Structure 1
Amino acid sequence: MNEKSRVSTNINFDADGISHGYLQVPHSTTDSAYGWIPVPVTVVKNGYGPSVLLMAGNHGDEYEGQILLMKLLRGLSADQVTGRLIILPGVNSPAVAAGQRVSPIDGGNLNRLFPGDADGTPTQMIAHYIDSVLLPLVRYCFDFHSGGYSLEYIPSAHLVAPSELSLRKEALGFLNAFGMPNSILIEGLANDDQLLLGSCRRRGVGHMSTELGGAAAFSVDAFRAAERGLPRLLRHVGVLAPNDHTEPAPSTRFYLRQPARELIFATDSGVFEAYVKLGDAVNEGDLAGQIHFPEIPWRAPETMFFPTGGVILAKRAPARARIGDCLFALGVPGLAEASDD
């Protein structure tokens, strides 16, 4: 397999100052034989300090992070930076343009295609460029997600907790500095090698993500919390100059999210009537909801119960559901707070 990326750019990542441009992803079509897909990129560099990669639009139907990074890059001056920021506000640009989770060009889900393929589809080439070119340049990578069209989350930072104590302490420091109302941790995530997280781990890059609302809408509360938290996070890692006017981080509620095998999935196809909402606490055996069948309205609904207790961290946004759709994700509060001693 070719190891050298076929993606090019007009950006000099080592030049001081502010540079705007594109990653150019080659894509030959009937309409454009020698064409390329533009992925917008901004680099802000000033002197010496850590390098940080900021990404949004990994999934194109997640909007808060895209706006967060667009506002950041338009408001920054080079003298505010001590090191380097590489900002990709719409990294899977075909998906972003279409407002879809996956690319309409190749069906690629960027966050399931790492470490990518230099000779692959456009989405695979984007993943390969991030893995092989950008991650080796940086010490930290912060990737801003929401629930997208199908899910809505409580406003939260999101972290797959490293098992190594020093890395875990560093990662929990990201959450505390960012200061979202909620922080969700996942322990022992399996099969993370196809995620951006997996590439960050292989490259020794500190990583944090978010879940800023969802339902393919715009959450004002989640966005404002992230907008206040991002400068704190960047100052915490040392890439923004200190500012006496920065407000202290509010406390964050920690939740340990249930493993993927314990998420609540639809067991039939129809219209889902949820019995609980985001943030509700439930007990094992509580009624989760019912699936109704408009095509057979006299059929009794499928009734679903919670197999475990916890707090509702995420719920399905569209009422229409099919077998295998995730309906709820639960978490147990308070388990991670003592881990940042």
Structure 2
Amino acid sequence: MAGKTRIWTPIDYDAEGKQSDCLRLPHSTDLSAYGFVPIPLVCIKNGSGPTALLIAGNHGDEYEGQIALCNLTREIRHDQVSGRLIILPALNFPAVAAGRRVSPLDEGNLNRSFPGDAAGTPTQMIAHYVCEMLIPMADIVVDLHSGGRSLEYVASALVRPGRTAGEHEQLLRLLRLFGAPISFVSDGTGGGGLTTLAATAQEQGALALTTELGGGATLSKEGLALAEAGLKRLLQDQGILREVAVEPAPPTRFMTVKGHSAFVYARDRGIFEPAAEIGEEVVGGQIAGRIHFPDLPTREPEALFFESSGLVACRRAPSLTERGDCLFKVMADLDAGPERASHA
């Protein structure tokens, strides 16, 4: 929703040098009538050049990206930058502080709240600021995610389908440079669709890349290393970062998510017993898992089956599950040739 943002910051995005402070998100409570929620922000600018917007903590229980961006802000010197880096390692800071996917202030899921609302809830206000103030400055946007508390994910990077053939090839090139073991194309089916940060960035003409670096609310060393190296490769390629050593990108496997048939959902409440591991190759009709019912011990477990063939991209982490919970997502290899999928 259009409107003037209520969030402010002492950081001057056009000033030369390295600045570290925060966004001030107004939040009035019983004990803090005129208070604000601080959202950590670092801006590094050196002369003219492209702008990269780097974000983690969009969901608060996803940690690899948060640490990777904190490490980057300490490591990168002003004189190593040509252009501008805008870095927010804990974008949804209330959720980050609580270790939750959603904000404890309003139960808002930030990556389902774009384009936001300047006069809305705290989560909607954050989304609006990103959409109206930050993305218009950016040539490239990287939003670092993991599976959080509910999912375990194979280390991967993803983009939305390009709106044109040229844009699509640019996005695939970013995936090759980032160098995740798995790279996939998805329009958000089964997830956030058009309400995500990446969708909003793409709509405004920025190149947007997202990751899944681990999950289970733990820290993946592999995912952290991938985030740090992948970001440096992207920034070097864009001409924003120089004089930083990084290994060339390893090969990546291009895949896609073929609509709702790629997902397995729980049909009843119970204890989830998985029958497949993340990264495993499965075929349609293969058993995916069982739901057990400890409150009805004589009831037979309910078997669940994969509808699609491919690689298991993610699996539910908690064993206790409710009807409608996502248990698995399966990705299929992209067809040879244009590396583009109609249901990506």
| Deviation (angstroms), 1:159 | 1.4
Which amino acid counterpart does residue 207 of structure 1 have in structure 2?
A
Distance 1:16 1:336, change over 3 A: farther
Whole-Å separation in 2 of the counterparts to 1:187 and 1:99: 27
C-alpha distance in 2 between matches for 1:2 and 1:207: 22
Provide, for residues 115-159 of structure 1, a one-character-per-residue CA deviation record: whole Å limited to 9, x for no partner.
Answer: 111101111111010011111111111000001110111001111
Q: Which residue of 2 aligns with 1:280?
A: 280
Aligned to 1:202: 203
Q: Is the contact between residue 254 and residue 337 of structure 1 (CA under 8 Å) also seen in structure 2? A: no
Question: Residue 60 of structure 1 aligns with which residue?
Answer: 60
Give the stretch that moved more between structures: 294-303 or 79-88.
294-303
Verify the 8 A CA contact 1:254 1:336 in the aligned structure 2: no
User: C-alpha deviations, 1:65-122, integer Å up to 9, x for none?
Assistant: 0001000001110011110000000000000000000000011100111111110111
Tell me the amino acid that sits aligned with residue 233 of structure 1: L
Matches within 5 A, 1:36-47: 36-47=36-47
Whether the 8 Å contact between 1:46 and 1:79 is mirrored in structure 2 is: yes
- The one-letter code sitting in structure 1 at the alignment partner of 2:232 is P
CA distance in 2 between counterparts of 1:337 and 1:98 reads 45
Residues 175-228 of structure 1: CA deviation (Å, up to 9, x unaligned):
111101111211585973321123212211110000001111111112212222
Size of the alignment, in residue pairs? 339
Match of 1:212 in 2: 213
Shift of 1:160: 1.5
CA contact (8 A) 1:181 1:225 kept: no
* Structure 1 equivalent of residue 327 of structure 2: 327
Cα 1:336–1:71 change in 2 (3 A) is farther
Partner of 2:194: 193
Is the contact between residue 178 and residue 229 of structure 1 (CA under 8 Å) also seen in structure 2? yes
Q: Equivalents in 2 of 1:96, 1:81: separation in Å?
A: 28
Equivalent residue number for residue 18 of structure 1: 18
* TM-score normalised over the length of structure 1: 0.95
* CA deviation after TM superposition for structure 1 residue 337, in Å: 7.1
Q: Is it true that 1:229 corresponds to 2:227 in the alignment?
A: no
CA distance in 2, matches of 1:59, 1:259: 23
Secondary structure at the aligned position of 2:193 is classed as coil
Q: Which residue identity is paired with 1:205?
A: A
Counterparts of 1:267 and 1:91, CA distance in 2 = 34
Structure 1 Cα separation of the partners of residues 62 and 337 of structure 2: 28
The corresponding residue for 2:290 is 290
Per-residue CA deviations over 1:211-246 (Å, capped at 9, x if unaligned) read 001111111112212222211011112211255x43
Paired residues for 1:245-284 under 5 Å: 245-260=245-260, 262-284=262-284
Pick which of 277-286 and 193-202 moved more: 193-202
Q: Once the 2 structures are TM-superposed, how far is the Cα of residue 310 of structure 1 from its aligned partner?
A: 1.2
- CA deviation after TM superposition for structure 1 residue 311, in Å: 1.0
Amino acid at match of 1:258: K
**Alignment correspondent of 2:138:** 138
* Counterpart in the other structure of 1:100: 100
Equivalents in 2 of 1:184, 1:138: separation in Å? 23
Cα drift, residue 163 of structure 1: 3.8
Return closer, same or farther for 1:148/1:104 CA change in 2, 3 Å cut-off. same
Q: Does the 8 A contact of 1:58 with 1:145 survive in 2? A: yes
* C-alpha distance in 1 between matches for 2:8 and 2:261: 40
User: Match of 2:67, SS?
Assistant: helix
Residue aligned with 2:195, SS = coil
* Identical columns (%): 47
Q: Is the 8 A contact 1:156 1:183 kept in 2?
A: yes
Are the aligned partners of 1:7 and 1:23 in contact in 2 as well (CA < 8 Å)? Answer: yes
- In structure 2, what is the Cα distance between the partners aligned to 1:58 and 1:199? 14
Q: Structure 1 residues 255-264 or 163-172, which shifts more? A: 255-264
Q: Which moved more, 1:98-107 or 1:221-230?
A: 221-230
2:143–2:198 Cα contact (<8 Å) kept:
no
Which SS does the other structure have where 1:299 is aligned? Answer: coil
Question: Are the counterparts in 2 of residues 158 and 184 from structure 1 also a CA contact under 8 Å?
Answer: yes
